[in-house]
Chain A
């Protein structure tokens, strides 16, 4: 019997190795898998490379992970935020390597990894600093830049609801990177607020089919309300 549901965040986060590359969903706080990131912090994995759109806000979530000093490198599109002081300090002191990636290239490089694409030509970034040193090609009169996939060891994803086969549905714009990240890692871990029995999710509306997901853990919605109030 396939049952991907684990009973704690700690169990969900076991086996994340030193040196791992980890995809983390979220656009700002929306869709950010806070509980799984807390689980990663509670573990011991270090020398990590993380891939996420933003580089953390305030002192929680990704910012708290960065603060542990266990992240070596971050790939992201928009680290600068009004309250990104943890990232700002580490970056300025040279303690954190940054690969700045245009947001659509970030999403597509992750998608390419999950879809078995070797590399792709994109017009985004052509003629800019962010394409420096990259192979380019003129195709049908337009200039493109060659970009490679971002494969990961682990993906941490926040969804709304799951069943024991790992089928996921998301909530509103909290979906953002979740569905593409779920496809691109060897170990995809999803946190959800609701667990339902097989058949309860409308198969027409499943966003991430369970084949991509290895572990599912239910977290308490109350903790999210508390965080947002704070």
Chain B
């Protein structure tokens, strides 16, 4: 199997897969970038409350153009809406909510995840890069479950699930589950445990692409 003919999910399909695992009643933070897509696929029959770090609980979908309000934006600074029953609060409360373990799930992107659940998602460590960390470190240590949504391989074909992160860390041992375009993998004490593989990709091939030793938990 060559890199071009590996069956893989697109970003929307990964988002839909993550959304299926978010239970009724969950308080959830979706990180900026790709994780935001998960919001479009949350089951309509479940009451799921989205938290936005800038001080919103009960965040709703994008508004119509005529309803855009620049005091009602998400963490990515895009206009959003507020559901009936939603609430506003200040930044210290918002991050207290995270750090205090009140959020059930956060979904974040990643450059790398290690087999012990270390997360690298805020900096590539390039000397000339403009740094920015935002709420990534707070979310990673604070949410009860940290789910990562990422492509399995870099553009060069290197596994993003690694023995040890080479990029600067966001947090140590925080990741619970990784959703990639190839598989769903739990980070466990005995190692990364594969729960699902995309249709058409044998476990052995996933193992070969991944580099670190995987447990077949299917």
A residues adjacent to B (C-beta < 8 A)? 27-31, 53, 77-80, 84, 87-88, 91-92, 98, 100-108, 110-111, 122-130, 143, 170-180, 207, 228
Is B203's beta carbon under 8 Å from chain A?
no
Q: Provide the residues of chain B in CB contact with A108, threshold 8 Å.
A: 92, 95-96, 99
What 10 A-B pairs are tightest by C-beta distance, nearest first?
Answer: A104-B95, A104-B138, A80-B132, A174-B71, A127-B172, A172-B71, A107-B91, A179-B90, A102-B137, A78-B134
B128 contacts chain A at the CB level, 8 A cutoff: yes
Judge whether A77 and B91 touch: CB under 8 Å. no
Please provide the chain B residues from 60 to 105 with a CB less than 8 Å away from any CB of chain A in the complex.
69-73, 77, 82, 88-92, 94-96, 98-99
By the criterion CB–CB under 8 Å, are A124 and B137 in contact?
yes
Contact with A along B119-158 (1 / 0, CB 8 A): 0000100001111111111100110000000000000000
**Option from B54, B89, B130 in Cβ contact (under 8 Å) with A91:** B130
A178 to chain B, nearest CB (A): 7
Please name the residue on chain A nearest to B131 by beta carbon: A100
Closest to B78 in A: A28
A107 touches B94 (CB 8 A): yes
Residues of A within 8 A of B142 (CB): 104, 123-124
- A104 touching B71, Cβ below 8 Å: no
For A174, list chain B residues within 8 Å (CB).
71
* CB<8 Å pairs between A and B, sample of 29: A30-B77, A31-B71, A78-B133, A88-B130, A102-B137, A104-B135, A107-B90, A107-B94, A108-B95, A110-B92, A123-B141, A124-B141, A127-B118, A127-B171, A128-B137, A128-B170, A129-B123, A130-B133, A143-B172, A170-B88, A172-B71, A173-B55, A173-B56, A173-B72, A175-B89, A176-B54, A176-B90, A179-B92, A180-B91
A128 to B138, CA, bound (A): 12
- Contact assessment for B88 and A175 in the assembled complex, using a CB-CB cutoff below 8 Å: yes
Residue of B nearest to A106 (CB): B91
Give B contacts to A, CB under 8 Å: 52-56, 69-73, 77, 82, 88-92, 94-96, 98-99, 118, 123, 128-138, 141-142, 168-172
Tell me the minimal C-beta distance from B12 to chain A in angstroms.
23
Q: Indicate the member of B73, B123, B170 with the most A CB atoms within 10 Å.
A: B73
Task: Give the residues in chain B near A180, CB-CB below 8 Å.
Answer: 90-92
Report yes or no: A126 in contact with B69, Cβ–Cβ below 8 A. Answer: no
Q: Which residue of A lies closest to B99 (CB)?
A: A104
Q: A30-B73, A128-B137 are in contact. Are A175 and B131 (CB under 8 A)?
A: no
Q: Is the CB of B70 within 8 A of A178?
A: no
* Separation of A45 and B164 alpha carbons in the complex (Å): 48
Name the one of A29, A125, A171, A177 contacting B137, with C-beta atoms under 8 angstroms.
Answer: A125
Is the beta-carbon distance between B169 and A127 smaller than 8 angstroms?
Answer: yes
Question: Which of A27, A108, A129, A177 gathers the greatest number of chain B CB atoms within 10 Å?
Answer: A27
Given A87-B130, A172-B72, A180-B92, A77 contacting B135 (CB threshold 8 A): yes
Q: Which residues of B contact A177 (CB under 8 A)?
A: 90-91
Which chain A positions have C-beta within 8 A of B128? 92
Q: How far is the CA of A122 from the CA of B132 in the complex (A)?
A: 19
- Whether A172 and B69, one on each chain, are in contact in the complex, defined by CB atoms closer than 8 angstroms, is yes
Q: Which of A77, A111, A170, A171 contacts B134 (CB 8 A)?
A: A77
Contacts of B132 in A (CB 8 A): 77-80, 100
Q: Contacts of A87 on B, CB cut-off 8 Å?
A: 130
Contacts of A80 in B (CB 8 A): 129-132
Closest to B90 in A: A179
Given contacts A78-B134, A110-B92, A143-B172, 12 further A-B contacts (CB under 8 A): A28-B77, A30-B70, A77-B133, A80-B132, A102-B136, A104-B96, A126-B141, A128-B169, A129-B169, A176-B91, A177-B91, A180-B91
